[in-house]
Amino acid sequence: MNVEKKLVIIGGGPAGHSAASAAARRGVHVTIIEREILGGAAHLLDCVPSKTMIATGGAMSFTNSLSGMGLENREAEVDVASLTARIESIKDHLSNDVHVLLASQGVTVINGTAKLESKNSVRVDAADGTSFLLEADDILISTGSRPRIPNFVQPDGDRILTTRDCYPPRVFPESVTIIGSGVTGVEFAHMFASFGSKVTLVVSRQQVLPGKDPEVAAVLEDSFLSRGVRLFKGARAVGIERTDLGVRVICDDGRVSETTHAVFAIGSMPNTENLGLEEVGVKTDGGYIPIDRHCQSNIENIYAAGDVSGKLPLSSVASMQGRKVAEQVAGGPKGPHRHLDYDKAASAIFTEPEIADVGLAEAEAFASGRKIRVTKVPFSSTAKALINNDSRGFVKIISDPATGEVLGGSIVGRHAAELISVIALAVTASLKVTDIEESLLVHPALAEALADAAE
């Protein structure tokens, strides 16, 4: 037990609260300072509200296509007030769960804003107006990130929006231009299209989801086009003007998109200003805090985890980093453990169809000249896809032809985000395709396509 060790955590998002809980469990004395809500921007502003809206949009699309299930079609209409209440209640529920857990573990939670005063002390300006110093053996900076705004635009929260201005939804745009076609951009394009908005997506490259498997990106592009989403490929937004009816987004190739609203989804910036980093000597790079494999900054007892670390900006990664920090602060791993391997992080894109991938991608393997075996099975070959009245998509497994080791995979289709867990486990544990193939899976289930792809 490390009863005397004091860990102070700045920021209560997935990185901060996971570290707090895991460290308290190991006997560390933990204080966490959060200026908004426990659960962080992930629960309040980003991950959870966006997925809640997408789930409601998905339910609407499903209801509007019931005839395929042997039912009469119904036109679902969005009820903005109850959708808003739903987003609020999920956020409150999740944040309260974090409070209850941390309280039960004896973690001190302070509502306030914190910054480093020295390498062993943190200044807290509490929400109750008091200001005080906390001494710390170790400090974790997990202050997250915020949307990046290009310098040619000033979001007004009315027509020119960041992703965080989109909920709770006051009104659904009649038409919207989404600038940025990475994960967040395509999810917002999908979300607004589900609610009936006319969507234009400005895609700076030649495919949506730059860096993802081109075959996967092509399925999503086809789906967008079939739903009437306009794609401005190879175009960069360079200007935006307010008009009588909304906004005009001007692109560098001369194309113009006139819509009632515009949403910027072009990435994020770390929240590392006003944290006293420079004064204390914590190195930054482009605002992010470089870390080693234990999430330590250049100062041994100051850690960084989550979006501020500049690694993968995912809640799941932030939580895992937080747990690794706790382990390190409590004296290092006891027993078998794995170092964080960011190349093995599973990720999902909550569009229609859903997309998920993990590990080595086909294009990446070809580019590096590595020999791989690729097997692809369409969901249409499973009974469950027909029963679900949704045969779209496929499972692709990438393995080493010599050893059979599973190296990666991607899934497009219903429940992709859940199904990828099987491949993620195989990649993390260096399992072989035969391990998946020989698992006795459920029938009828979409997972049967996984076993077929592993054959």
Is residue 310 involved in binding ligand FAD (CB under 6 A)? Answer: no
* Pick 145 or 181: Cβ nearer ligand FAD: 145
Which residue from 24, 30, 87, 114 is in contact with ligand FAD, where contact means CB under 6 A?
A: 114
- The residues, ordered by sequence, that sit 6+ positions from 71 with a Cβ below 8 Å of its Cβ are none
Residue ranges in 143-172 that form contacts with ligand FAD under rule CB under 6 A: 143-145, 163
Confirm or reject binding of residue 40 to ligand FAD (CB under 6 A): yes
Based on CB atoms, which residue is closest to ligand FAD, 184 or 200? Answer: 184
Q: Which of 7, 8, 9, 10 binds ligand FAD (CB under 6 A)?
A: 10
Quickly count: other Cβ atoms within 10 Å of residue 83's Cβ.
Answer: 19
Minimal distance, residue 28 CB to ligand FAD, in Å: 18
Q: Is 306 in the site for ligand FAD (CB under 6 A)?
A: yes
For position 351 contacting ligand FAD by CB under 6 A, the verdict is no
74 Cβ partners below 8 Å, 6+ apart?
A: 63, 64, 66
Binders of ligand FAD in range 178-207 (CB under 6 A): 184
The least distance separating ligand FAD from the CB of residue 368, rounded to whole angstroms, comes to 27
Phi, psi of 92 (to 5 degrees): -60, -45
**Interface with ligand FAD (CB under 6 A), residue from 15, 22, 178, 235:** 15
Binding span for ligand FAD by CB under 6 A among 92-100, 310-318, 363-371, 375-383:
310-318
Q: Is 14 in the site for ligand FAD (CB under 6 A)?
A: yes
- Which of 116, 141, 147 lies closest to 11 in space, CA to CA? 141
Of 21, 52, 95, 113, the residue at the interface with ligand FAD (CB under 6 A) is: 113
Measure the CA–CA gap between 20 and 4, rounded to whole angstroms: 15
Q: Is 246 in the site for ligand FAD (CB under 6 A)?
A: no
- Report the sign of the C-alpha dihedral through residues 133, 134, 138, 139, in that order: negative
Is 65 a binding residue for ligand FAD by CB under 6 A? The answer is: no
The only residue of 21, 23, 46, 323 in contact with ligand FAD, by rule CB under 6 A: 46
Contacts of 191 (CB under 8 A, 6+ apart): 50, 53, 54, 57
Residue 198 neighbours by CB distance under 10 Å = 16
Interface with ligand FAD (CB under 6 A): 10-16, 33-36, 40-42, 46-47, 50-51, 113-115, 142-145, 163, 184, 271, 275, 306-307, 313-316, 318
